C-alpha cells in the first residue's frame, strides 16, 4: 500500500491520470498494490465518455470538514451514484458535499469592500 497526500500537487493532470491508472492495470500492477491518495483534481472521477474516468465510483471518498474543523470521510457510494454517473461534474455542482459558502470570490469581495469602507 502506498499513501500519498496531495498527489496532484506536482504532476501534470495527464501524468496524474497515467500514474493512477498504473495501479488499476494488472499488467503494470500484477501483485495488486494499493494506492491511497488525496487530491483536488476532479478529472480523475470525471467522465467525458462512458469509460473514461480513472477512478470508479466505489474508489472515491469525499472529505468534509464540520464547523469545528473535524474531517469526516464519506464514501461516494453512500450517495448511490449510477454506474455511469459523472462524479466529477456532480461534485463540482455540490451534489455530494456542500460547496464552500461563502464562495472564495464572495469572501474576498466582502473583505475588499470592508477595507475600502475603513480607508474611506
Contact yes or no for 71/64 (Cβ under 8 A): yes
Integer-rounded Cα Rg, in Å, for the chain is 18
Domain count, the chain: 1
Q: Are 33 and 23 in contact (CB under 8 A)?
A: yes
Tell me the C-alpha distance between 83 and 85, whole Å: 6
Verdict on whether the full-model pTM lies above 0.85: no
Three-state secondary structure call for residue 100: coil
Give the integer Cα–Cα distance in Å for 30 and 112.
Answer: 55
Confidence of residue 84 (pLDDT cuts 50, 70, 90): confident
Tell me whether the omega of the peptide bond preceding residue 102 falls within 30 degrees of 0, making it cis.
yes
Give 12-35 pLDDT, tens digit per residue: 988 998 999 999 899 999 999 999
Question: Reduced to 3 states, what is the DSSP secondary structure of residue 80?
Answer: coil
* Between 67 and 25, the higher pLDDT residue: 25
> What proportion of the chain, given as a percentage, has pLDDT over 70?
93
Q: What share of the chain is helix, strand, coil (3-state, %, to 5)?
A: 40, 15, 45
* Residue range(s) defining the domain that contains residue 90: 2-119
Amino acid at each position: 500500500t502506498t499513501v500519498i497526500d496531495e498527489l496532484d500537487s506536482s504532476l501534470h493532470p495527464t501524468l496524474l491520470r497515467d500514474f493512477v491508472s498504473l495501479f488499476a492495470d494488472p499488467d503494470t500492477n500484477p501483485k495488486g498494490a494499493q494506492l491511497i491518495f488525496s487530491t483536488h483534481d476532479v478529472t480523475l472521477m470525471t467522465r467525458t465518455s462512458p469509460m473514461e474516468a480513472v477512478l470508479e465510483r466505489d474508489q472515491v471518498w469525499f472529505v468534509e470538514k464540520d464547523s469545528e474543523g473535524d474531517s469526516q470521510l464519506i464514501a461516494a457510494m453512500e450517495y448511490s451514484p449510477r454506474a455511469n454517473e459523472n462524479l466529477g461534474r456532480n461534485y463540482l455542482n455540490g451534489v455530494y458535499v456542500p460547496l464552500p459558502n461563502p464562495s472564495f470570490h464572495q469572501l474576498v469581495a466582502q473583505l475588499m469592500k470592508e477595507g475600502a469602507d475603513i480607508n474611506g
